[in-house]
Amino acid sequence: MGALSRPEEVVALVKLRVAAGQIKRQIPPEEHWGFAYSMLQKVSRSFALVIQQLGPELRNAVCIFYLVLRALDTVEDDTSIPTEVKVPILQDFYRHIYNRDWHYSCGTNNYKVLMDKFHHVSTAFLELGEGYQKAIEEITRRMGAGMAKFICKEVETVDDYEEYCHYVAGLVGYGLSRLFYAAGTEDLAPDSLSNSMGLFLQKTNIIRDYLEDINEIPKSRMFWPREIWSKYADKLEDFKYVENSEKAVQCLNDLVTNALIHAEDCLQYMSALKDHAIFCFCAIPQIMAIGTCALCYNNVNVFRGVVKMRRGLTARVIDETNSMSDVYTAFYEFSLLLESKIDDNDPNAALTRKRVDSIKQTCRSSGLLKRGTIWTSHLTSIFCS
């Protein structure tokens, strides 16, 4: 039956396919902009859809910001690049974006194409307004320096984890807030809230991507902090094995509980946004993050394969997220889903309940919860299908 048993998702999927077709028709005619938008679709179809919420000028700036940081991330992720080569590239990347001739061949598949033809991204970057350029340059400089630091340093402590996530995602939150401000549509958000917007997304991805990252070739790159995982295993890769499932899930739950601390900051950030397009752009990924946390929590499948929301449910999130009422309702309902999975024997059960309760109370106190709109219907079949 699949999606046919969920007609509301079928409608949303059809709308999503129509929107994807519209994206192709909106690609600018200039070669460098055509490359930028087509590449965005190839490296992140979901982001390419969400970015369409924005007006043309801001959309161009965010597109280039994303591609610059994706290129920077490609350098960081390529474990075949020697450290003595990689570190200077990361540190100087913010200068390279001003050079129409610069490129560096690394990465695989679409990411290699992005790096080989990076001159198109630089050309588009140089056509942005000065306010956008300065914001992108600043964040690229700070992120590159942070990534370079962690090339030579493992994520040992929870403080290291916070710092690494700040460099690779919190700074994205800073940058987007600065781009929104440069567009003249939003006040400049507090850095603490912008940071949490990035950290919630990043921590969710780090949690979800355990198996992919631990199996990385030629060598694994892991960002689960030793201070947490060492409570449950001698080696991080031990969680892959079935005989360690109980401890693996306990560690997983510990990390999800850690991520939940950012949820209320995210709600505060989104509630202050004025521009509807920017609001939708920000809200959709955050709803996906709280949903993914709920799915991953207490779920041994994180150590067996890919855990993600169904395409139909993702389509609904994109189609139906239009107001803070929608956001509060989604956060509340996914919190209920996560709460229903808490095992009283879990070492962090009390803390998890406390954080979930706090999120639910924030949603209730808004006075904006919708009744009868069930995002998490068919809870047992919410996984990818």
- What DSSP state is assigned to residue 54? S
Q: Rounded to the nearest 10 degrees, what angle do helices 56-77 and 31-43 cross at?
A: 60
For residues 148 and 137, is the Cβ–Cβ distance under 8 A?
Answer: no
CA dist 278 and 185 (Å) reads 9
Q: Which of 221, 241, 304, 364 is catalytic?
A: 221
- Give the N- to C-terminal CA distance of the chain in Å, as an integer: 10
For residue 266, give the nearest of 353, 359, 172, 367 by alpha carbon.
Answer: 359
- What DSSP state is assigned to residue 169? I
Q: Which of 37, 180, 210, 281 is catalytic?
A: 281
For residue 298, give the nearest of 259, 340, 236 by alpha carbon.
Answer: 340
Q: Which of 70, 208, 316, 355 is catalytic?
A: 208
Structure tokens, 57? 């000028």
208 is catalytic: yes
331 is catalytic: no
Backbone φ and ψ for 3, nearest 5 degrees, come out as -65, -25
239 is catalytic: no
Structure tokens, 289? 């993050």
221 is catalytic: yes
What's the Cα-to-Cα distance from 180 to each of 162, 284, 367, rounded to whole Å?
Answer: 25, 17, 27
Which residues are CB-neighbours of 234 under 8 A, at least 6 positions away? Answer: none
Q: Which of 47, 125, 161, 164 is catalytic?
A: 164
Structure tokens, 44? 């992140």
Which residues are CB-neighbours of 122 under 8 A, at least 6 positions away? Answer: 96, 97, 98, 99, 100, 102
Q: What is the CA radius of gyration of the chain?
A: 20
CA angle 344, 233, 342 (to 5 degrees): 15
> Which residues participate in catalysis according to the annotation?
164, 208, 221, 281
